[in-house]
Each structure stands twice: as C-alpha cells, then as structure tokens.
Amino acid sequence: MQLIFQGGNELVKLVIDRENKELKISSSKTGYKLVPSPWKNLFDKGKERIQEKITDKLNDGDFKKSIIMAMAQQGYQLRKVN
C-alpha cells in the first residue's frame, strides 16, 4: 500500500508491505527518493513492540486508519492512497 501525506510544504510517501514487513519512505530527508527504512519506523520510539503486536491483528483498512491517525498527530494530512 502507498500513502502520501502533506504537512505544510513537506510531502511524505510511505510504501508499506505488511506481509513482508517492509517500509520505504520518500521525504525531504531522503531527497524525495524512495528509501528502504526499518519496519519499526512506523511506530513510536520505545513503543515499537507493543504497537506492532496491536497492528498485526488489524485488517488492511484499520491498519491504514491507524497510520493516518498517527501521521495526523504529527501534523500530516493524507493526500493520496494507493
């Protein structure tokens, strides 16, 4: 799944493969190039294990909602879903 968020002038693209627990991120920090990132980067620092256990049980729709809500808390709004 792909999720694109905007926060101010910043765009962040997340490419998430839940089956293989792979994450790729594109943002200003990566020069807007899609870069493989550790799976744990999807979760709050220090809470990775518990959050991963919780989200592993979610279906894709609820998983997307949890990511969208977490990004909203950081000031990012969803722009596009693929």
Q: What's the structural domain count of the chain?
A: 1
- pLDDT at position 53 is 95
Tracing tokens 């807007």 back to the chain, one arrives at: 32
pLDDT band with cut points at 50, 70 and 90 for residue 56: very high
pLDDT at position 82: 82
CA distance 19 to 48: 17
Residues 7-51 have pLDDT tens digits of 999 999 999 999 999 999 999 999 999 999 999 999 999 999 999
**Cα–Cα distance between 21 and 6 in angstroms, integer?**
24
Task: Tell me, yes or no, if the pTM score tops 0.85.
Answer: yes
Nearest to 76 by CA among 16, 10, 2, 1: 10
Q: Name the residue range of residue 10's domain.
A: 2-81
pLDDT at 71 over 90: yes
